Structure 1
Amino acid sequence: MSQSELQRLVEVMDRLRSPGGCSWDAEQTHESLIKYLLEESYEFIDAIETDDRAGMREELGDILLQVYFHSRIAQDHPTDPFSIEDVARAIADKLISRHPHVFENLKVSGTQEIIENWEAIKAREKGRTSAIDGIAMSQPALPLVSKIFYRAEKYGVELELAGYTTEEEANESAVGAALASVIGWAHANGIDPENALRAQARKMIAEILAKEQSGSR
């Protein structure tokens, strides 16, 4: 029986991190690899948006490398080590737990109930009582605010949004309030603000390229 490529990757990473392997790989830490995880994730998004199938395969490999790299680093922790097997076991267990309609034959009415069940199970597992529990504060500001609106809605917390006009003085506080209001407006109408902003950015890039090609400014 041929060896699994995933197991082969485990062995490659172990070789790189072990004595006689690669000194650069051996020196890396969870902290030093953060920038690479972010870069590879954004590069995968670019590949999706340009429908680059070869690029998607390559960038997914780079993201997978980060998972295996961090897991191999974790094996060397002096008091709380874990391996890629532990990581895989935990996520498999989580998927089974969060999908009772699949693994426990729980009857659901549709996708919305599936999402509600997921959130309820997640809150119960993690002992969450606040709308902000578990929100990743290190994520970019726009998706962070969007997540806050989402959580507030799920937890029944009504957020007050300050109104604004374009004539108001532009300062950090006013701009922050205006952005939060726009994100709330998008959320209330079922529009993903990140996707909307990225789509607008693509339109702006296309406009700039068209003007450059035509020689107009």
Structure 2
Amino acid sequence: MEDDVLDENRRLAPILRQVIALGGQAHSQPLRTWALRELQGYEGTDVPIPDYRRIPAPLVMDGLTARFKFREQPVSSFDLPDFARDSLGDGIRFGKSIGQIESLIAGQPGDSVRIAPPMAAELAVLMSQNSHRQVLRLYWTVDPSALEGILDQVRTRLVQLVGELRAAMPHGQKDPTPDQVAQAVQNINITTGDNSSVTVTAPIAVAHRRGVARAVASSEQTATDR
């Protein structure tokens, strides 16, 4: 996993699957939850999208007037219906999965990515009523560098995980033991949900060669929010 994390050309989705397995080994529910959420995305869930997934993106529209067509015309708050002004603007919380983000960057290298807001078709109809123009399409234009910034934030967190594992291992040791994995995960602060800091303090039980290990969580031995 260390080689994959440090290789900037490696996709993040397979690495996050390794993190889920690692979280299972270390009995870390917060770590597994974060990695799974990044893999599956935040859209359609009740989990708040982390702040590092908030990116700048101008809201624009394509359409027609009696004399000409227009494309990527900036949308002001006055163009929007009253109910949509607070939820739409020049920034979005990007909830798509890591795999989708990587595919968007690879599929349109150097080009802006167009993302339609919720109810885009209905909003276009409302914005065309009692107006001299017809709005055909409403969308955010997302610069690829903003998407790459999300990937960079996730990779940085993975590097922090590897660093904690290395810190728990004596010099010259190649692979961490289950005990060292448990120690490393307990020292990691990860960001989940509403961007609160979650300290992993789940109980760890490690069994060695034919041994049996059992971990019991008390009311105080849980993931604690700061």
TM-score where L is the length of structure 2? 0.23
Compare the two structures and name the one with the higher strand fraction. 2
Structure of greater relative contact order (alpha carbons < 8 Å, 6+ residues apart):
2
TM-score where L is the length of structure 1? 0.24
Compare the two structures and name the one with the higher helix fraction. 1
